[in-house]
Amino acid sequence: MQNELLTIQHLTTSFKIEDHYYAAVDEVSLSVKPNEVVAIVGESGSGKSALAFSIMGLHARAKSEGSIAFEGYNLNSLGPNELNKLRGKHIGMIFQDPLSALNPLMTVGDQIQEALILHQPNMSKKERKRKVIELLNSVGILQPDVIASSYPHELSGGMRQRIVISIAIANEPKLLIADEPTTALDATIQLQILDLIRKLKDDIGAGIILITHDIGVVAEMADRVAVMYGGQIVEIADIHTLLSDPRHPYTRSLLRSIPSADTPKTKLYSIQGVVPSLKHLPRQGCRFRFRIPWIGESSHEENPQMHELSPGHFVRCTCYQNFWFPGEEDIQNGAS
């Protein structure tokens, strides 16, 4: 396809645990167009961050297979130097854990300047300082001058997160990977950050990969949504279809757990069982089947494939056809 910004094909990223490699990202294919926001949601440990790190080429000790093409360049074939140049200048990443992304011994202002020096070496010192203040302003930091000369531990959780955001957008990347960019932020600042991301999209046509647990943020921003479970994409659709007609049992369960400002204070829905660890993740058959044991084995495919239900709406495995929630047996029996 000609106009894709990023095309990922059959990407598999594996981590070594006790001498064996286990895939945290398993045969994932995904593309992002310029000006498009693709959201990735999924259970904790489903491989969202691992996917993001793979695109950035930041996994030092993991094994990665498959292809990643950015603006037609195959990222796998670039050497470390070329990759470094591309990252930061054309691909920006907002890391999920701001504290580990920041250097504790350097003021945050210097860290933003560092990103600028690396990719815009011709900028004068004065210009750079002005740019730092401008960036901090744009992420809603009051007294940017004082904050720039603070160390990470002197800042609140949300302020640190915004520092990481200013570093990611400092060079106006064409692709922004935002991993939980607003979890530590209040609703008003969250909105400001989301607007900033939209602006990057509108002004320079950036493509965005937005990883988040917050379905509200997805509803606010996304054009398309990919749902991950156990290292695989289990459902993908445009935002309207995904929220109004979710099909995969995992997607439906996820959407059921949302507490919202206008639901009554009843018990929230949660998925049975625990998130499997990488080592113990079932890799044969439908990976979600152990979390919905009331659904008969025969409903699942032996080797679950993606099924296209309508243009662009794909669901993995056939179990979606026979899925119901506990307590809904009657409806199910009545219907069949």
Ligand X SMILES: Nc1ncnc2c1ncn2[C@@H]1O[C@H](COP(=O)(O)OP(=O)(O)OP(=O)(O)O)[C@@H](O)[C@H]1O
Smallest distance, Å, CB 141 to ligand X? 9
Q: Which entry of another protein, ligand X, Mg ion, none binds 15, CB below 5 to 8 A by partner kind?
A: ligand X
Q: Which stretch binds Mg ion (CB under 5 A): 74-82, 156-164, 202-210, 315-323?
A: 156-164
Checking 221-224 for CB contacts under 8 A at 24+ apart, the result is 221/37, 221/39, 221/194, 221/197, 222/37, 222/38, 222/39, 223/36, 223/37, 223/38, 224/36, 224/37, 224/38, 224/39, 224/312
- Tally the residues of the chain: 336
Find the binder of Mg ion among 46, 49, 166, 253 (CB under 5 A). 49
Extract the runs of DSSP E, i.e. beta strands, from 78-136: 91-94
Distance of CA 287 to the CA centre of its chain: 20
* Closer residue to ligand X in complex, CB, 278/309: 278
233 strand-pairing partners: 228
Cβ closer to ligand X: 53 or 324? Answer: 53
Residues that bind another protein (CB under 8 A): 42-45, 97, 99, 109, 129, 132-133, 142-143, 145-146, 148-150, 154-159, 161-162, 183-191, 213-217, 219-220, 222, 239-240, 243-244, 253-254, 257-263, 265, 267-271, 274-275, 277
State the helix-helix crossing angle for 108-119 and 80-89, rounded to 10 degrees. 120
Which residues of the shown chain bind ligand X in the complex (CB under 6 A)?
Answer: 15, 24, 42, 44-50, 96, 154-159, 184, 277-278
Question: How many angstroms separate the most distant Cα atoms in the chain?
Answer: 73
If you ran DSSP here, which 8-state letter would residue 184 be given?
Answer: T
Q: Residue 152 or residue 295: which is nearer to ligand X going by CB?
A: 152
Check if the beta carbon of residue 320 is closer than 8 Å to that of residue 247: yes
269 binds, among ligand X, another protein, Mg ion, none (CB under 5 to 8 A by kind): another protein
Tell me which of 106, 154, 157, 277 binds Mg ion, using CB under 5 A.
Answer: 157
**Which residue, 209, 210, 207, 212, is CA-closest to 184?**
212
CB 76 to ligand X: min, Å? 19
* Binding region for Mg ion (CB under 5 A) out of 109-117, 153-161, 274-282, 289-297: 153-161
Cα(140)–Cα(121) distance, integer angstroms: 26
In the complex, least distance from residue 130 CB atom to Mg ion, rounded to whole angstroms: 29
Instruction: Decide whether 64 or 253 has the Cβ nearer to another protein.
Output: 253
Rounded to the nearest 5°, which phi and psi values hold at 172?
Answer: 45, 65
Site for Mg ion in 93-122 (CB under 5 A): 96
Residue nearest to ligand X (CB): 158
Strands, E assignment, 58-113: 63-70, 73-74, 91-94
58 binds Mg ion (CB under 5 A): no
Phi, psi of 55 (to 5 degrees): -60, -40
> Closer to another protein at the Cβ: 86 or 222?
222
Minimum CB distance to Mg ion smaller for 52 or for 221: 52
Pick from 256, 288, 286: nearest CA to 275: 288
Residues contributing to the site for Mg ion (CB under 5 A): 49, 96, 156-157
